[in-house]
Structure 1
Amino acid sequence: MEEEFEFGFSEDPKFSVERYEEMIRNHDQYFFDAQAFENIIDYYIEKNDPPKALQVVEYARNQHPFAAVFLIKQAQLLVVTNRASEAFAALDKAAMLEASDPDIYVIRGNLYESMERYTEALENYEKALDMAEETDEVLLHIAYVHQNMGDYEQAIAYLKRCLEQNMENQDALYELAFCYDVLDNQEESVQFYMQYIDNEPYSYAAWYNLGNAYTKLGLFEKAIDAYDYAILIKDSFASAYFNKGNALVNLEKYAEAIEVYRQTFEYEQPNADTYCAIGECYEKLEQMDDARAFYKKSVKMDSKLADAWFGIGVTLDFEERYFEALHFYKKALDLDIANADYWFAIADAEYKLGRIAEAEEAYEKVVELNPLDVDAWLDYSSILYEQEKLIEAIEVMTQAIKNNPEAAELYYRMVAYLFAKGDYNEALNHLEMALASDPEKHYILFDYLPQLQKNKVIIDIINKYTR
């Protein structure tokens, strides 16, 4: 007959695990109390070994058939191993033994949520809410479901309730920022975090999210102050340094931004994005060798980072090395084919290399991808005008104006083309529109056709608007 040993909960969890493993090795049968089994299961969960944990659950259920806790643990592990129907069955059995355990409804809610059956998920979370002593995690789950359903207002209401239960819930703080972001409601976001900080002045996460909200509102000085508080409370907070660097870039304080970006390296491994950001700062300071060095470090760490390849191209373009620049622009484009800025740089480089047909094609791509880029329309039409393709240049301007009816520059350029073509009445119509839109920019016309400065009709019309 097999000998039975009994192990109780007084012992050290590590001891329970050793005894359990000994039992398995000896093909023996030891008896463990419920607490010891829980410790052993948790040990394997922490070691990220669900199959072993499930094996322990089987033993535990045989020895403690009326303990709902093991059915609940089993369900959790079945969820992790993608065995949903078995998990549902285990939860049903657990509910028959102990219907008031909130974990049953939380796990069932998770299952329904993962199946996108949101109504049933909410029903279960609401049940858990009635039974749980600490409700912040359940409220967070409910908020997630509302987010998945696209109801961000509801999600915000639950996230606020979650934070009322537990001010320390970091996930809720960040999710709240995300919801305000989706609703593009940064003012309310600022208001919330300010109130929150009044109660919790040492919450680095709240200061950080406040900084992000200010950044999105374009209030970069205030954002920097908020990031500084976050850093003061947690000096190893790399993301706060990085975002502070971005805010400094927006204020065109590039040298300061470089210093702040470099500080992130003290607290986390250097990464491709930070190297790329530093490269961009050096580029803005026109220190092209330094810029290129950092862009190269960036692509070495992440060869898929299109902006860094593009940055290398920009530094070469600045040095009038257009042929080399093109190579890097195209590498960036391969990674992000629909990026209008990359196409624009390619169009410009092709033009400078005298490859006019290629430049035309690239400009066509820019305005197709970003029809609001006024400069691209002007450059595109300019190439056509230089090749004496007047009708095409006018067509391009017509399209440009259709997409950007407020842009006076386009009307002035159109006037120049129409005069060149000899359509004087049409030209004068457009001149009136241009002057009505922005009389100060009339010099654009003379940049293109200086001879018009001697045209009395035109000067009279301009004087009417600029007096």
Structure 2
Amino acid sequence: MNQDFPLFNEDFEELRDLLQQFENLRAGRSHSFLDEDSFEQIIDYYDEHDELPNAIQAAEIAIEQFPYSSTLLLKKANLLIETKKYTDALELLEKAAILDSTDINLYILQTDIYLALNQHEKAAALLEEQIQQFDGEDRTELLLELADVYDDWEEFDRVFDCLKIALEHDPNNEEALHKICFWTEYTGRNEESIRLHSNIINEFPYNQLAWFNLGTAYQGLKLYEKAIDSYLYAVAIDEKFDYAYRNMGDAYIRLRKFQDAIEVLQKHLEIAKPEDVIYEAIGHCYEKMRKFTQARYYYRKASHLSPQDDKLYYKIAVAYMMEANWENAVKSIASALKINKSSADYYVALGQCYLELGKNKDALIQFMSALRIKPQSIGTWQEFIRGLYVSGFFDEAMVQLDEAEQKLGRKPVFQYYRAAVLIAQGRSKEGLIQLETALQLAPRQLRKMVELDPALLQHSNVVELIARYRKKK
């Protein structure tokens, strides 16, 4: 170890020696002379090791020996802020300002105090005044500090304004580039972001963060093709830019270019730590491409990383349902329900599976569980009444239609279902009257009745009524 890290060991030995000299000084024993820089190292050591009383004592002894050191006054003020002695800290900072008003740490510490005292206006006014006195990196740092003040003050548009000014002053500042990406999305100021980052790119065409931010701004405006072009430039400059691949994948999904999305998300997996959201997104793409085996594979990989995410088990179940693999779908929904018993969607899906398996009573129990959770959901009532219809419980279906309409009002789907039940009961004349009313209310929802029972189209009276109505329209 000594051979590998000689410099580290020399520094450690030097620091240990300084701490011993300080202990001798405190104890009144003979000691070597400690210069200002040595005291700074001793104070920093105690501060970093959360030994605040020792750090403060070291600062006080140092200031006694070097009363005109603004750096030592700032260090002590910082320690006082940590111990919430804000008034004492402000007094020290005033002394430090007389000695040296060109150290930006002076204003950053004052800002910290004003924020701790919830005096945002004072903090902002101080920084706005001082920003004009500095240039270069110091100005950028004060602008970033001002952005944080506005963030704490919840003046979010002003946060964006500060970061924009910072980048106009220092276009390659990584911290400002990272932060403005978030605040663009938060404030919705995408057009301004596009102008800002286009200007940066014109001057610095190899700034990959600017390309990335340009992409996110386009994505915020739903201009997905342009967003993808920007991300492609970002990854051409930095092929390990994982967030660019992630966002590009999302943009491809929005464009329904699922194969392209899979390719860029796979690239993300190659260069970054595996994440459940990436596996889930790939699974979603395969599901949309109707490649359900692959979809389940990636949903499972996501669930291994996030075993308490019930939605992933539900997605696996849906992928089984799409292949009419009802038994396996039931198992996956059961896994989802073990984690989350309050999702109406899970009970509905379980009911649908049981209906397909011929377990009608079990299905109805699941639909009723869903209704207890979401009594105001049209879709849930629809599934319950469908379950009663499929099971041949027509009288009960009529009772529940009345109940549904009492709770939710007269909805076209309930009108169509009422027509279907009446026709199934042999009450064709009443059923046709209901069907005509439904066709007048919402002709496009006729498909819901047909989905409920395609055999209804074998009734010549039903077909004639639909044809007559369409002709009239």
Please give the range of the TM-score, normalised by the shorter of the 2 chains. 0.7 to 0.9
Q: Counterpart in 2 of 1:21?
A: 16
Distance 2:341 2:191 in 1: 35
2:92 matched to 1:93?
yes
Alpha-carbon separation, structure 2, partners of 1:303 and 1:63: 60
Amino acid at match of 1:97: A
Amino acid in structure 1 at the alignment position of 2:107:
Y
Q: When the two structures are aligned, how many residues end up with a matched partner? A: 435
Which one is further off, 258-267 or 323-332? 323-332
**Structure 2 unaligned regions, length at least 5:** 1-6, 25-30, 423-429
Letter in 1 for 2:161: A
Q: Do the aligned residues in 1 keep the contact of 2:208 with 2:237 (CA within 8 Å)? A: yes
2:466 corresponds to 1:450? no
Matched residue SS, 1:256: helix
Question: Residues 3-402 of structure 1 correspond to what in structure 2 (within 5 A)?
Answer: 18-25=13-20, 27-28=23-24, 29-38=31-40, 48-51=48-51, 54=55, 57-77=59-79, 79=81, 82-83=82-83, 85-86=84-85, 88-99=87-98, 100=101, 101-113=103-115, 116-133=118-135, 134-318=138-322, 320-332=324-336, 342=346, 344-353=348-357, 354=359, 355-364=362-371, 378-386=382-390, 387-388=393-394, 389-393=397-401, 395-396=403-404
**Alignment CA distance shift 1:292-1:417 (3 Å):** same
Partner of 2:27: none
Write the deviation string for residues 331-376 of structure 1: whole angstroms up to 9, x where unpaired. 445656666655554453454453223331354367569x5xx765
Q: CA offset at residue 98 of structure 1?
A: 1.8
Of 20-29 and 239-248, deviating more is 20-29
1:155-207 deviation line (CA, Å, top 9, x unaligned): 22222112222212333334333333234454454444334433332222222
Q: 1:430 to 1:322 in 2, by over 3 A?
A: closer
CA offsets per residue over residues 247-268 of structure 1, 9 Å max, x none? 3333344343333223224432
TM-score (norm 1): 0.76
Do the aligned partners of residues 427 and 92 (structure 1) sit closer, same or farther apart at CA in structure 2, a change above 3 Å counting?
farther
Per the alignment, in what secondary structure is the counterpart of residue 33 of structure 2?
A: strand
- Residue type matched to 1:356 in 2? A
Contact 2:46 2:55 in 1 (8 A): no
- How far has the Cα of 1:399 moved from its partner? 6.0
- Distance between the aligned counterparts of 1:337 and 1:74, measured in 2? 56
| Partner of residue 6, structure 1 | none
Structure 2 counterpart of 1:454, one-letter code: N
Deviations 1:35-93 (A, max 9, x none): 45445656777xx53438936545533432332322322344555xx52x235523421
Q: Is the 8 A contact 2:276 2:303 kept in 1?
A: yes
Q: What is aligned with 1:434?
A: 442
Q: Tell me the equivalent position of 1:406.
A: none
Amino acid at match of 2:440: E
Residues 340 and 224 of structure 1: is their aligned pair in 2 closer, same or farther, counting only changes over 3 Å?
farther
The answer for unaligned runs of 5 or more in structure 1 is 1-11, 403-409
Quick check: 2:115–2:123 contact (8 Å CA) kept in 1? Answer: yes
Greater Rg by CA: 2
Amino acid at match of 2:231: Y
**CA separation in 1, counterparts of 2:226 and 2:460?**
48
Distance 1:266 1:62 in 2: 58
Q: After alignment, is 327-336 or 144-153 more displaced?
A: 327-336
Question: Structure 1 residues 16 and 171 mapped into 2: Cα distance closer, same or farther (>3 Å)?
Answer: closer
Q: Structure 1: which amino acid aligns with 2:16?
A: E
- The CA deviation string for residues 291-336 of structure 1, in whole angstroms up to 9 with x for no partner, is 4444333333333344433344344445555454344435445656
1:8 counterpart residue number? none
Task: For 1:314 and 1:196, locate their aligned partners in 2 and report how far apart those are by CA, in whole Å.
Answer: 46
Say if 1:309 and 1:340 are closer, same or farther in 2 by CA, change over 3 A: same
Alpha-carbon contact 1:384-1:392 (below 8 Å) kept: no
Q: Offset of 1:125 from its aligned partner?
A: 3.2
Alpha-carbon spacing, 1:433–1:106, altered in 2? closer, same or farther (3 Å)? same
Q: Give the 3 Å change call, closer, same or farther, for CA 362–352 of structure 1 in structure 2.
A: farther
Deviation readout 1:105-131 (Å, 9 max, x if unpaired)? 322323443565433432443354355
Q: Structure 1 residues 324 and 23, CA, compared in 2 at 3 Å: closer, same or farther?
A: same
Tell whether the 8 Å contact from 1:212 to 1:223 is kept in structure 2 after alignment. yes
SS of the equivalent of 1:98 reads helix
Shift of 1:231: 0.7
Q: Structure 1 counterpart of 2:245, which letter?
A: Y
Conservation of the 8 A alpha-carbon contact between 1:50 and 1:77: no
Greater mean deviation of Cα atoms: 157-166 or 142-151? 142-151
**Contact 1:344/1:376 (8 A) holds in 2:** yes
SS, match of residue 233 in structure 2: helix
For 2:413 and 2:239, the matched residues in 1 are separated by 54
Check the 8 A contact 1:69/1:94 in 2, yes or no. Answer: no
SS at match of 2:32: strand
Match of 1:414 in 2: 415
Q: Distance in 2 between matches of 1:126 and 1:115?
A: 19
In 1, distance between residues paired with 2:17 and 2:406?
84
Aligned partners of 1:442, 1:346: CA distance in 2, in Å?
A: 26
Cα gap change, 1:243 to 1:124, in 2 (>3 Å): same
Which amino acid in the other structure matches residue 239 of structure 1?
Answer: Y
Question: Residues 254 and 458 from structure 1, CA distance in 2 versus in 1: closer, same or farther, beyond 3 angstroms?
Answer: closer
